[in-house]
Amino acid sequence: MEKTLSLIVPVYNEEEVLRISFEKMDEQMKKIGYPYEIIYVNDGSRDGSMKILREIAKENPQVKVRSFSRNFGHQTAVTCGMDAAKGDALIIIDVDLQDPPEVIADMVKAWENGADIAYGKRLKRKGETIFKKLTAFAYYRVLKSMSATPIPLDTGDFRLIDRKVADVFLKMREHNRFLRGMSGWMGFEAVPIEYVRNERFAGKTKYTLKKMLRLASDGIIGFSDRPLTLCGEFGAVLLTLAGLGLVALIVLACCKVSFPAWLWALCGLVGLNAVTLLFMSLQGMYLNRMYDELKDRPLYIVAEELNME
């Protein structure tokens, strides 16, 4: 049977770009040649986006729309699109044309050559503030250094995923979602497709600072236990210092060297605080395990089987 593609496009207050974005994406999808659907997820837009989506859907049967009751956030909108998608490969793309639709063809080629995931890797980011570029640059590197999950640098959610990857996403129902981390956690054969990130075609970013911080913490908390181990390591360092201080004071006392008595108290204080930190970190480890169990991710993912009937 012929393979099909699903394009997933989250939309939040995007009336300025929606129509032109649809035209460009639709044109690219036609060029690629597979039967396709374009799934728009309206993430609680309060502008005219939904009206435009109704018009587009009326004229184009390949366009499907799911509209949220309120703003649930970009990662949830993409997940909703994945839930609805019927294609053999799913492509996730922003509506604002920052991810160039021409790159989809390269992703599809990589998929035809056997890639399970073809992810967009940003060579350059045009038209974004220095603040955004700097924080993004630093964030991806901090995350990489903290996380045991391989999360490629400078990579967003613009990617193609094969049906088998999408099926694993369907099983991962964790609420604080960081899709690029989840994708890294799954493994599979992932191929980078380099591209230059365009300026937003029109309108302003819908990722407020608050939303960005939220996504950043979802990435770190969901994919690293470093903050917890850090607390323990800090405790261990403090305990060592307190111990050394205590030994030094005992030696001084034995040699009858005088020193202020509050130094005993200081060592005791630092030592006790260190013990508290160590136990907090220990408790954190249990919490971390509970969190892991609650996420209820699949225990393993089989990518291929031979002679297994």
Residues that bind Mg ion (CB under 5 A): 94, 96, 98
284 binds ligand UDP (CB under 6 A): no
99 binds, among ligand UDP, Mg ion, none (CB under 5 to 8 A by kind): none
The least CB distance from residue 298 to Mg ion, in Å, is: 31
Nearer to ligand UDP, 206 or 239 (CB): 206
The least CB distance from residue 79 to ligand UDP, in Å, is: 11
How far apart CA 5 and CA 85 sit, in angstroms, is 9
Q: Strand pairing of 155-162 and 89-92?
A: antiparallel
The least CB distance from residue 205 to ligand UDP, in Å, is: 3
159 binds ligand UDP (CB under 6 A): no
CA-nearest of 166, 170, 155, 33 to 90 is 166
How far apart CA 146 and CA 222 sit, in angstroms, is 11
Please say whether the beta carbons of 182 and 143 come within 8 A. no
- Segment contacting ligand UDP by CB under 6 A, of 66-74, 80-88, 175-183, 185-193: 66-74
How far apart CA 145 and CA 141 sit, in angstroms, is 6
73 binds ligand UDP (CB under 6 A): yes
- Segment contacting ligand UDP by CB under 6 A, of 167-175, 200-208, 239-247, 264-272: 200-208
Nearer to ligand UDP, 14 or 162 (CB): 14
In the DSSP assignment, the letter for residue 270 is H
- Segment contacting ligand UDP by CB under 6 A, of 205-213, 219-227, 244-252, 267-275: 205-213
In the DSSP assignment, the letter for residue 126 is -
How far apart CA 187 and CA 232 sit, in angstroms, is 30
Nearer to Mg ion, 42 or 98 (CB): 98
181 binds ligand UDP (CB under 6 A): no
Looking at 206, 224, 225, 281, which residue binds ligand UDP (CB under 6 A)? Answer: 206
122 binds, among ligand UDP, Mg ion, none (CB under 5 to 8 A by kind): none
180 binds ligand UDP (CB under 6 A): no
Q: Which contacts of 100-107 are long-range, i.e. CB under 8 A and separated by 24 or more positions?
A: 100/195, 100/196, 100/198, 101/24, 101/25, 101/27, 101/28, 102/28, 103/158, 103/193, 103/195, 104/7, 104/25, 104/28, 104/29, 104/32, 104/160, 105/28, 105/31, 105/32, 106/193, 107/159, 107/160, 107/193
Looking at 11, 50, 53, 277, which residue binds ligand UDP (CB under 6 A)? Answer: 11
Binding site for ligand UDP (CB under 6 A): 10-12, 14, 43, 71, 73-74, 77, 94-96, 98, 205-207
